Structures are given as C-alpha cells and as structure tokens.
Structure 1
Amino acid sequence: MLQVLRCYYLPLVFHHPLKLSSFITKTSSTRQTLLSTLRSLGYITLELLITPLQYGIPNSRLRYYLLAKQYPLQYSGLGGIQKDTILRHIPGQADWVDPRIDSTNINGDGLSISGNPINKLKDYLDGDVVNNEPHPHAVPEKVLQKWGRLFDIVLPSSRRTCCFTRGYTQLVERAGSILQENDNLNTTEIFDKFFQAQSEADPRALEILKPLRLRYFSPIELLRLFHFIPLGTPSVFSWPEGVSTKTKYRLIGNSVNVEVVERLIEYLFQ
C-alpha cells in the first residue's frame, strides 16, 4: 500500500494564507510550473479550495489542495468540469457557498442550504474554571492594554474562528481568534467604553474589559477544532512529558484540519 501511495497518488496542501490568492491565479508561474511538471510525469491533477466550515467545523481557514493520480486512474464525479478549474467542494458532494460571502447560504440555525450544520464553538471548549479563578489561558493585562483593538474576538455561540498560527499567544494580529467567555455582553460596546477610558487616562480602564473574560483557546481546544480529537469521541491523545504550553501552541499552529484531509483521501481512493 505504501508503494501505491508513493507512485500513483500525490496529495499536496498549500497553506500560506497571505500568498494563497496570488498562487491560485492563472498567471501564477509557480502554480503553472507545478501543474505542468506533474502532468509531464503522467499525473492527472485536481485542484480544490476547502475550508473546515464545509464539514461543520467552526474554523474558516481556507486552504489550497492539489490531488494527483497517475494515468490511467481517474477522478469520480467530475462530470463536465473544465480543465484547470479550482473547485470549492469535493466532486460528488453538495455545492457549497462560503457564508462569509453569501449570508443567504446560512439560516438562523447555522445550517447551510445544503443541510450541513456548522457547530457552535461551545461544543469544542473545556469545562468552566471553578470558583471564579482566573483562567489559565486568560489574555494578560499588558496585552489587552496595548493590543486589544486588534483581536479577532469570538463567542461560545459563534460558528467560526480565523486561522491559528504557530505564533498564537505570542503574536496578536492574524495569529488566531480570542474567546470571549461571557456570551451575554456586547463586545463592541464594552471596547468602546474601554477606549474612551483609555483616552481619558483612566487607571481603571482595564476593569471595563474584565467582565468579557477574554482568553486564548487552550491547546486541547485547538486539537478539537483541528479534529485531532473528533467531537464525541474519548480523547486518547497525550503530550509527551515535558512539552511546554508554548511548544504545544507552536506545534498545533498552521496544522491541516484532519477531517478535511480524511475526506480528500477518501475521495482520492475512489
């Protein structure tokens, strides 16, 4: 089986979020060189743009995937799809429209028109901290003071998060979403009050943000979002002894979602 995988099937993922848009254009010399090289070696290629949202996972990280089968193997469900078309769903599965682009694709229950549910983040979270103790992953006050305006803040009831990078908890902008545990407060209103207090040099300004209970996602929560630990299954995952929390975040960041890869591999072998 390993020999077959190596010789006849070739999956590839392109995960750089800032360079993705330029890579997938028809004028991209890198993409054209890659495709022409594979085809010259006898591979039939299939390109896709997939996000975990399509499989009900509340993470919006969009990635480019390239599948390659060596001729005479063929892909199923292609129908009349034109050559070099970059697909937004796996052939044979329901069409999918990004709800961030077309909000009519999502109804009030968080279901896409095709019927695929997008889970709420609360399904992926650890249990509450007891006795109102500070959360071990609370955002430090000095970070809130200086960088709070740059956070991508999500709620337990939210159905999306942005990409999580290996710099999560160390960097702020584009490094990953921050969780607001208090689902009952209006984030914008609270931050407006905070910024007003800051502008007036109020030494108690940070107290305004505390009721939001802003924190980072824990490493285990990220493993659930990336589907290393699927929902509804007992966790058999454990970290090697001595791995620091910082290292855990670095190892998890920029991971490919396991559910998406599983679906692609299943399709690849059809």
Structure 2
Amino acid sequence: MKHYALNIAEISAKVVCAFDVNMIANQVYEHNFGHAPSNKTIERLTAKDIEKYKADCWLLSPPCQPYTQGGNMKDIDDPRAQALIHLINLLPKLEKPPNYLFLENVKNFEESQSREKLVQQLREMNYQVKECLLSPIQFGIPNHRLRYYMMARRCFDSQQIDEESGATTATADEGQIHTKWPFNSEYQFEVPELCQFIENTANENLQYRVPEKDILKRHKFRFDIVRPNDHKTSCITKAYGSHHLQTSGSLVQTQHLDRVEYDWSDPKSLLELGLRFLTPKEISRLHAFPMPEYQLKPNHSSLTKPRSFTPPHCLPHLEFPDPVTLMQRYRLLGNSLNCWVVAELLRCELF
C-alpha cells in the first residue's frame, strides 16, 4: 500500500525492492505492479544486501503484534520485533544510510522500547524525527483507523540550524506526538457520507449478508451498525467478514433505514435490518486505493499543502487476481494502511 501512496503523492520515486513473507500479498503486489516482492526475511539481510539497492528512502511496516493486547505486548522480547531491531542495529553500519525513513504501526508503538531504540539511533545519526497518531477521519475519509506514523529526514551540516529559532532541526519536534492534521492547525476537513463509498448493488448479494446465527448468538453485544448517510465507519481488521463480529469492523444496514435505535437485548430484532459486510471494493475505497472506476486525470499538483480528499486516479489500480478468495481479500485489506493518509504525510511532511 505504501507503493500506492507514493503514486498518490505524485512523488517521483522508484521502488527498488519490496519485502514481504505473505505469499498472497506478494501475489497481489505482482499482479498490480508487474514484479514480485522479495520473500527474504528482514533478519537475514546484511549491510551489504541493503547497500546494493542504493535506496534513498525506507518505508517500513513492522509487525504490530508485539505492541498489541492480542500479542501480549512483549515489545522487543517478541520474536516478531526482531526484524525492526535488526534494521536499527544495521543503520550505523551502512556506508550510505537512507536520507528518508517512514514507519507506521499501531497505537501503543509510541510507548514501546522498540520506538525508543529507533528514535535514539536516528537522533544519534542526526535525523530530524516527526511522529504522529492520526486517523483517516482527520483527512476527510469516513473510516476510523488510528495509526502511529514516523517520518525521519537525515540532516546535513547546512540543514541543521533553523533560521528563525536557531535550534537544530533534528530536535525541533523532539518528543512531540502530533494528533492533529494538518499539524499545529485547527483546520478540519469535511467528511463525506458513506454513500459515496458503498455499492447499493451489494445489498442483495447474499455472500455479503451477515449470517443470522452470528447475530443471534451475541446477546446484548452492540454491533457497529452504519447507514449510507453516516460519516464514520470503525476500524476494519483482518477478521472482518468472518464470524468474529466483535470489533472487526462496521456492518451496513440495508433495510429500515429510518431505524436508528436498536434493542441490543433482542438480537432477533436486528435481523430485520438486512445487515451486510462491506465489500472488498468498498473497503478498498475507504482505504483510498486507486480503483478502476476512477478516471485518470492530468497531474496539476505541485504544492505541499494538505489536500482535501479526492478518490485517487493514478495507475496502477488495485485489482485482486481471481485465485485470491473473498476471505483472503478481507484479511489483506484488514492489514492494510490508508493510502491517502500515507501519501499526504509523505508529500507534506517527509519530502
């Protein structure tokens, strides 16, 4: 998804290599971009391996399990954190470290030892570090997906002094976690209604209908039910579309749209609402992937000020190969980032 974000940001960049051990994700990547990512594990990379790519920027998405309740929050003691720790240890050994680094992870990463170790190494190597906790809602997209983001830019002697304050740029944002977008601004983007992202034709498709048995067995559980005129959906996880309805994402109400109050003690009454899952295409739209139905438009963007959200139109569009099943699509999208959020942070803050 960060490759898509580079395209959406309209940054002149070439991805020299992508790494992923998920075979299905690699299949989708190759289908869309024409070449397969490397499935070599990060822990096996040497300084020589990395330097042969001559990469000026690293875009990182370390496994989130070491920093979540579900993963027991073992942090640096979790084997899944070792890939990031390995890269941190390799950084000072590189003859030409990357000038730019972008990292995303779940909320709680900002309080981790992994983050502390990374920030310490970056500052020792004279990187300017910016950090934030942001959700697509703040960018004008009706989906809540709070994520931690770090942007780091390597500073050189001529860049180290801020002309106004006299402070070194490497310490200008030290310790600050931005929670507003745009940073240090009270401006808020308007969030459109969900109807601009959903397909009415999916309402009658039984493969997206929530099974009655999964609704009836959850007495007094409050599902996140959304209607077409709503302006927010909840975070979609990799369990979306399965029987794990709790906190896996929003369910779309397709019938009795005037009903906004629900009797949670009577699950049977919810069956009248025609609840369905969001389709993979709808989730892809909410994650701001370029989609085939969006027409290609000429490039007129040259400013670095934050933009109001518009559906991305750049190529390639996101398409799933036919062998990728519905559940595999849900899992991949549940693990995905919001492409527009990443694009705007790359465009306005990192580059």
What is the TM-score when the length of structure 1 is the normalising length? 0.74
| CA-to-aligned-CA distance 1:101-143 (integer Å, 9 cap, x gap) | xxxxxxxxxxxxx35211111111013358xx45430100110
Q: 1: distance between equivalents of 2:222 and 2:155?
A: 49
Q: CA deviation at 1:231?
A: 11
Q: Residue in 2 aligned with 1:24?
A: 110
2:195 is aligned, of 106, 110, 122, to 122
Q: Residues of 1 paired with 2:161 and 2:331: CA distance?
A: 36
Match of 1:10 in 2: 101
Larger deviation, residues 133-142 vs 260-269:
133-142
Amino acid at match of 1:179: V
What percentage of residue pairs aligned between the two structures are identical?
Answer: 29
Q: Which residue of 1 aligns with 2:237?
A: 165
Q: Secondary structure at the match of 2:200?
A: coil
Question: 1:223-244 CA deviation, whole Å, 9 max, x = no partner?
Answer: 0000013698248432112211
Letter in 2 for 1:219: P
From 321, 326, 329, the equivalent of 1:248 is 329
Q: What amino acid maps onto 1:11 in structure 2? A: F
Counterpart amino acid of 2:347?
Answer: E
CA contact (8 A) 1:163 1:254 kept: no
Counterpart Cα distance in 1 of 2:115 and 2:136: 23
Residues 190-269 of structure 1 mapped to structure 2, 5 A cutoff: 191-192=264-265, 194-195=266-267, 206=268, 208-229=269-290, 233-234=294-295, 236-269=317-350
One-letter amino acid of the counterpart of residue 84, structure 1: G
For residues 160 and 217 of structure 2, the distance between their equivalents in structure 1, rounded to whole angstroms, comes to 54
2:56 is paired with a residue of what secondary structure? helix
Contact 2:233 2:250 in 1 (8 A): yes
Q: How many Å apart are 1:75 and its aligned residue?
A: 11
Q: Is 2:180 aligned against 1:89?
A: yes
* 1:256–1:89 distance in 2 versus 1, CA, 3 Å: same
Match of 1:181 in 2: 254
Using the size of structure 2 for normalisation, the TM-score is: 0.58
**2: CA distance between counterparts of 1:260 and 1:231?**
20
Inter-partner Cα distance in structure 1 for 2:218 and 2:191: 30
Bigger shift: residues 54-63 or 176-185: 176-185
What is the rounded CA distance, in whole Å, between the counterparts of 2:275 and 2:189 in structure 1?
30
Matched, 1:147 2:218: yes
Shift of 1:147: 2.5
The CA distance in 2 between the partners of 1:158 and 1:75, in whole Å, is: 47
CA shift for structure 1 position 91? 5.7
Q: 1:224 to 1:134 in 2, by over 3 A?
A: closer
Secondary structure of 2:342's counterpart equals: helix
Give the equivalent residue in structure 2 for 1:37.
121
**2:262 counterpart SS class:** helix
Amino acid of the residue matched to residue 69 of structure 1?
R
Q: Corresponding residue for 1:101?
A: none
Does structure 1 retain, via aligned residues, the 8 Å contact 2:132–2:179? yes
Post-superposition offset of 1:167: 0.8
1:123 partner letter = Q
Aligned amino acid, residue 218 of structure 1 = T
Q: Provide the secondary structure at the position in 2 that maps to 1:248.
A: helix
In the TM superposition, residue 5 of structure 1 has moved relative to its aligned partner by: 2.1
- Partners of 1:48 and 1:123 lie apart in 2 by 28
Unaligned regions of 5+ residues in structure 2, if any?
A: 1-12, 15-54, 59-97, 296-312
The 1:157–1:70 alpha-carbon spacing in structure 2 relative to 1, beyond 3 Å, is same
SS in 1 for 2:196: helix
What does the per-residue CA deviation read over 1:194-249, in whole Å, with 9 as the maximum and x for residues that have no partner? 35xxxxxxxxxx3x333311111001000000001369824843211221111110
Q: 14, 39, 54: which one pairs with 2:138?
A: 54
Q: 1:54 is paired with a residue of what secondary structure? A: helix
Count of residues in Structure 1 that have an aligned counterpart in Structure 2: 229
Provide the secondary structure at the position in 1 that maps to 2:217. helix
